[in-house]
Structure 1
Amino acid sequence: MGAPRAELTGKVAIVTGAARGIGYAIASRFAAEGAHVALSDIDVDGAGSAAESIVNQGGNAIGVGGDAGVAADVDRLIQTTLDRFARVDILVNNAGDVTTLRHFLDSDQDWWDRLVRTNLTSHYLCTRGVAGLMAAAGGGCVINVSSGGANRSHRGMVAYDATKGAIEAMTRSLALDLAPYGIRVNALVPGLIATNPAHLAPPARTLRDETVPLGRGGTPEDLAGPAVFLASDDAAYVTGACLVVDGGVLVQQRSPQVEVFGLDKFPRIPGSRFS
């Protein structure tokens, strides 16, 4: 782990869903920036291994297994963090289920309740658990993790998209409720982030990359820098914002594959992507 740039030196952060993917990338970057980090995940062994990896790179981290959608587990996560680091300055609500696909006509209440608990209730419980601590300390930062599904739609993901829309609404409301206490609440909005690119066959990877205006699919590390910004003093006047990190996917009316003015019509500039 390289020398910290002091963006978050001395801060204490909790990151949920941190055993791998976006959560781990953010936790690792926070540690590199000098933060003490508690990594939480329902995968108990994964949380421990992720924290150990950060420690082996020179960071300060602990792993805490538990379900962020269960109040008792959240209470234990927060108390464990306080026992080890004495405070909580930053919360990243990253825990969520992105894999459970089901057509609405094949749905049932168990499916709905499970996704709401995992994706939305977890954000509520963790934020409720730390907000009082942050207020008593004079301030803090909460970063929620949304999705393009909050404003656009996926097939077979009605419950997922509903939770992500709710997360963005909750981000705005929390920002208003907590601003007087010096607590900033913002959200990251990832798009087409491959947490394990090896799981994509080459044709699928090519199709995904062609859909992104910047020309490539995202990686978990693409979220780490924006998370550091939102957690740092550079964002001291930023609250209630949803920061989109998707390579430009959501701003386009049509995907490149069906665009009237296709990439084949773009000027060829020597040295550029279209040289």
Structure 2
Amino acid sequence: MELKGKTIVITGASSGIGAAAALLFAREGAQLVLGARREAELRQVAGQITQSNGKAVALAGDVTDPDYAKALVDCASDMYGQLDGAFNNAGMVGDMMPVADMALSNWQNVLETNLTSAFLCAKAQIPAMTKGGALVFTSSFVGSSNAGLPGMAAYAAAKAGLNGLVQSLANDHAQHGIRVNALLPGGTMTAMAGDDPAGHAFVRSLHPMRRMAEPEEIAQAALFLLSDRASFVTGTAMLADGGVSVQLGQGPVE
């Protein structure tokens, strides 16, 4: 019961990594506030948890809305009396194309969803964590180190900015007992990965492990960062990427 008695907010919780994290955290004893845009899917995840005697409440909304970030925190306080942590996981890839061909609206949407939303979540969550706690933000190997990929300029810029935000937050709030870390997954079998077998094969070829991650595997890494096992871990960009970041500089695995 790694999270027993802890109240955790999860964004992007309606599917993929966020949904897997919600189910895992509930089994580990967490009291959850689940956020995402798709209300029906979000309520389905919450229902799975409550039917198994777990604790979860769903609150649908848009993570780019400042009022929504605060509403999630208020819900945690109203339902459970506290906030101990958050897995800020919501994100989007956007349209993939060279910058010269990219619409400004796509650039803005990707940065708002991946980076500005992280700022809004942190701004709302940190004042509520009066007894300390932990924040985890889903970043990406894309935009870090030597892991640039074609057509992903907006996504890479947003995630690189997110890594910088995490470092600053960690430095600012360590004295308050708040740990802040980024989690950098590799290719993961979620809806964001699409359903093109050829695309999946290409992504698998980038990984030395020659496969993509299951959402549950990334959720386990998030669990570690939120748990007391990571009590001396802050300001990191933790890779859970199957080695893709060290492989990209050498080309695809044969």
Deviation string 1:198-243 (CA, Å, 9 cap, x unpaired) is 9534444444333321231111111111111111111100000111
Match of 1:88 among 54, 75, 83: 83
Q: Which of residues 23, 28, 33 is equivalent to 2:23?
A: 28
The unaligned stretches of length 5 or more in structure 1 are: 1-5, 263-275
Residue identity in the other structure for 1:234: R
- Inter-CA distance 100–203: structure 2 relative to 1 (3 Å threshold): closer
Whichever residue aligns with residue 26 of structure 2, its letter is: A
> Given the alignment, which residue of 79, 91, 95 partners 2:74?
79
Match for residue 58 of structure 1 among 50, 53, 65:
53
Matches within 5 A, 1:251-266: 251-252=246-247, 253-257=249-253
Partner of 1:157: 152
Task: State the match for 1:173 in structure 2.
Answer: 168
Q: Is residue 210 from structure 1 mapped to residue 205 from structure 2 by the alignment? A: yes
1:119-158 aligned at under 5 Å gives the runs: 119-134=114-129, 136-137=130-131, 139-151=132-144, 152-158=147-153
Checking the alignment, whether the CA contact within 8 Å between 1:91 and 1:127 is kept in structure 2 is no
The alignment partner of 2:19 has SS state of helix
The verdict on how the C-alpha distance between 1:205 and 1:107 changes in structure 2, with shifts beyond 3 A counting, is: closer
Rounded Cα–Cα distance in structure 2 between residues aligned with 1:149 and 1:198: 14
TM-score, normalised to structure 1, is 0.86
Quick one: structure 1 residues 43 and 175, their matched pair in 2 at CA, closer, same or farther if it must change by over 3 Å?
same
**Alpha-carbon distance between aligned partners in 1 of 2:54 and 2:225, rounded to the nearest angstrom:** 20
Residues 62 and 68, structure 2, Cα contact 8 Å, conserved in 1: yes
Unpaired runs of at least 5, structure 2: none
SS at match of 2:91: coil
**Residue aligning to 2:9:** 14
Match of 1:48 in 2: 43
Q: Match of 1:270?
A: none
Q: Is contact 1:119–1:164 with CA below 8 Å preserved after alignment?
A: yes
Q: State percent identity of aligned pairs.
A: 36
Counterpart-to-counterpart distance in 2, 1:230 and 1:76: 24
Q: CA deviation at 1:72?
A: 1.2
Contact 2:94 2:110 in 1 (8 A): no
With CA pairs under 8 Å and 6+ residues apart, which has the higher RCO, 1 or 2?
Answer: 2
- Residue of structure 2 equivalent to 1:67: 62
Compared with structure 1, are the counterparts of its residues 27 and 149 closer, same or farther at alpha carbon in structure 2 (3 Å cutoff)?
same
Indicate the residue corresponding to 2:180 in structure 1. 185
Cα distance per residue 1:143-186 (max 9 Å; x no partner)? 01111112122222211110000000111110000100000000
* C-alpha distance after superposition, 1:63-82 (max 9, x if no partner): 11011111111122221221
| C-alpha RMSD of matched pairs (Å) | 1.8
- Secondary structure, in 3 states, of the residue corresponding to 1:185? strand
2:203, 2:154 → 1: CA distance?
A: 23
Give, in whole Å, the separation in 2 of the partners of 1:158 and 1:198: 17
Change (3 A) 1:119 1:217: same
In the alignment, which residue of structure 2 is the partner of 1:225? Answer: 220
Give the drift of 1:107.
2.2
Instruction: State the Cα distance separating 1:197 from its structure 2 match.
Output: 9.7
Number of residues of Structure 1 aligned to a counterpart in Structure 2: 251
Q: In terms of Rg, which structure is larger?
A: 1
